[in-house]
Amino acid sequence: MLFDLRPKRRREEIFDREKEFKEIEQSLSSYPMVLILGIRRVGKSSILQAYLNENPGILIDCRELYAESGHLTKDDLIRELQSKAGTLRRITSKFKISLNLRFLNIEPRETSLREVFKELDRIGRETGKFIIAFDEAQYLRFYGSRGGKELLALFAYAYDNLPNLRLVLTGSEIGLLHDFLDITNYESPLYGRPAGEIIVEPFNRETSFEFLKSGFEEAGINVDEKEIESAVELLDGVPGWLVTFGVEYLREKDFEKAIQRTFEIARGLLMGELKELRGRSPRYIEILKAIALGYNRWSLIRDYLRVRGDRIPDPRLYALIENLKKMSWISEENETYRITDPVVATVLKNPK
Ligand SMILES: Nc1ncnc2c1ncn2[C@@H]1O[C@H](COP(=O)(O)OP(=O)(O)OP(=O)(O)O)[C@@H](O)[C@H]1O
Ligand SMILES: [Mg+2]
């Protein structure tokens, strides 16, 4: 079902990402570590889960794991890996491997991540490769007390010494993930170990149109192509929003209502995300609003804030804008900023 709000789990459910699957395949044959990057709701988790459905490996959702406790420890991660026992059993039985995975039967404190990785590498020896995937891996910077350095050292160890393991990391806060891995810094544990990179882009206009059309066909309802065109005009190409629109249209059977509901839902989701951002600095929200409203160059943003009584020092504004870029909220071209997701821009422009 294309119009299903959950991340897809099977390749047949995924629309038009053959190129990405091919890139992942090729990257994994050249690099011990591969990054899947893209803005929120673009389909990273769907692609990853579908890939893992066909290839031996396990998936750890770092965003969820972090949200549960507000930090990440070695024992949290080992417990999470232990919770994949079912998947591991399915893999070992599919490949007819008899392996005693010690880490599944002991307390987390009795082993180390390195030992667990070694055991998983042994599965890979039998199956060709074994993937450990970390979804939203920028949250791994909250591992331990040193910004995740211990984990990076483990990744470097795996990179160098465990030939059957592959690490796949996804990230929607692309700059933050790059900063965390820091492979160009010689003081970083991962220094000099390049990763393959797959960028998942939003659909272009044509693909967005085809996506909606296929979704409606699959659901067996006839929708005027003009309406589909208008939806693409308003929503652009982030699959998550197109799915939301599709689901709402099936419910409402009315274009205007479905669009309205889609933006309401987007607003709801966004409020949660903006709240997290506001916690880091309330100025982020003002800067995003400025850009959404078309104050999209450095001096215009500064003036926008000034008019609102915020005499922000230049270096501070510079730093905040850089951070918004790293978190993929905005992108910059020719010294002009834009909100990366047009739906987000529309919501920011129309305060309730
Ligand atoms: N190629 C696709 N075909 C069908 N549905 C898709 C596709 N890509 C994304 N979706 C749908 O869009 C929504 C968002 O996808 P998904 O959760 O995989 O994105 P994500 O990039 O992991 O987002 P987030 O950053 O929020 O975790 C889901 O409802 C998913 O089913
Ligand atoms: Mg995801």
Ligand nearest to the CA of 38: 1
Q: For residue 212, what pLDDT band results from cuts at 50, 70 and 90?
A: very high
Percent of the chain with pLDDT over 70: 100
Distance CA 245, CA 210 (A): 14
- Phi–psi pair at 329, nearest 5 degrees: -70, -35
Q: Are residues 180 and 64 in the same domain?
A: yes
Average pLDDT over residues 272-291: 94
Q: What spacing in Å lies between the alpha carbon of 43 and ligand 1's midpoint? A: 3
Average pLDDT over residues 305-312: 96
Assess whether the C-beta atom of 2 lies below 6 angstroms from ligand 1.
yes
Model pTM?
0.95
Assess whether the C-beta atom of 46 lies below 6 angstroms from ligand 1.
yes
Q: What spacing in Å lies between the alpha carbon of 301 and ligand 1's midpoint? A: 32
Q: For residue 64, what pLDDT band results from cuts at 50, 70 and 90?
A: very high
Ligand nearest to the CA of 241: 1
Average pLDDT over residues 64-86: 95
Q: What spacing in Å lies between the alpha carbon of 39 and ligand 1's midpoint? A: 10
If you search the block for the tokens 């500064």, which residue do you land on? 302
Q: What spacing in Å lies between the alpha carbon of 15 and ligand 1's midpoint? A: 10
Question: Does the pLDDT value for residue 334 go beyond 90?
Answer: yes
Q: Are residues 142 and 20 in the same domain?
A: yes
Residue 3 lies in a domain: no
Q: Are residues 34 and 155 in the same domain?
A: yes
Q: Are residues 274 and 285 in the same domain?
A: no
Q: Are residues 78 and 190 in the same domain?
A: yes
What pLDDT does residue 352 have? 74
What pLDDT does residue 69 have? 85
Average pLDDT over residues 194-223: 97
Give the number of other CB atoms < 10 A from CB of residue 345: 20
Assess whether the C-beta atom of 41 lies below 6 angstroms from ligand 1.
yes
E-strand stretches of the chain: 33-37, 57-61, 130-135, 165-171, 196-199, 330-333, 336-339
Question: Does the pLDDT value for residue 99 go beyond 90?
Answer: no
- Any idea which of 84-88, 194-198, 272-276 has the lowest mean pLDDT? 272-276
What pLDDT does residue 225 have? 97
Assess whether the C-beta atom of 15 lies below 6 angstroms from ligand 1.
yes
Average pLDDT over residues 48-62: 97
Residue 146 lies in a domain: yes
Assess whether the C-beta atom of 44 lies below 6 angstroms from ligand 1.
yes
What pLDDT does residue 351 have? 77
Q: Are residues 52 and 168 in the same domain?
A: yes
Q: What spacing in Å lies between the alpha carbon of 191 and ligand 2's midpoint? A: 27
User: Whose C-alpha lies nearest to ligand 1, atom 23?
Assistant: 41
Assess whether the C-beta atom of 242 lies below 6 angstroms from ligand 1.
no
Instruction: Among 175, 199, 223, give the residue marking a domain's end.
Output: 199
Domain extent for 143: 11-199
Residue 1 lies in a domain: no
CB–CB of 337/331 below 8 Å?
A: yes
Q: For residue 171, what pLDDT band results from cuts at 50, 70 and 90?
A: very high
Domain at 346, CATH number: 1.10.10.10
Distance CA 270, CA 56 (A): 35
Average pLDDT over residues 321-335: 95
Q: What is the pLDDT of residues 26-39, one digit of tens each?
A: 999 999 999 999 99
Residue 297 lies in a domain: yes
Q: For residue 131, what pLDDT band results from cuts at 50, 70 and 90?
A: very high
Give the number of other CB atoms < 10 A from CB of residue 54: 10
User: Whose C-alpha lies nearest to ligand 1, atom 16?
Assistant: 43
Alpha helices in 190-293 (DSSP H): 205-219, 225-235, 239-252, 255-280, 282-292
Which residue in 329, 242, 271 sits closest to 5, CA to CA?
A: 242
Question: Does the pLDDT value for residue 241 go beyond 80?
Answer: yes
| Total structural domains within the chain | 3
Residue 4 lies in a domain: no
Average pLDDT over residues 296-317: 97
Q: Are residues 16 and 110 in the same domain?
A: yes
Assess whether the C-beta atom of 8 lies below 6 angstroms from ligand 1.
yes
Distance CA 216, CA 234 (A): 18
Q: What spacing in Å lies between the alpha carbon of 227 and ligand 2's midpoint? A: 28
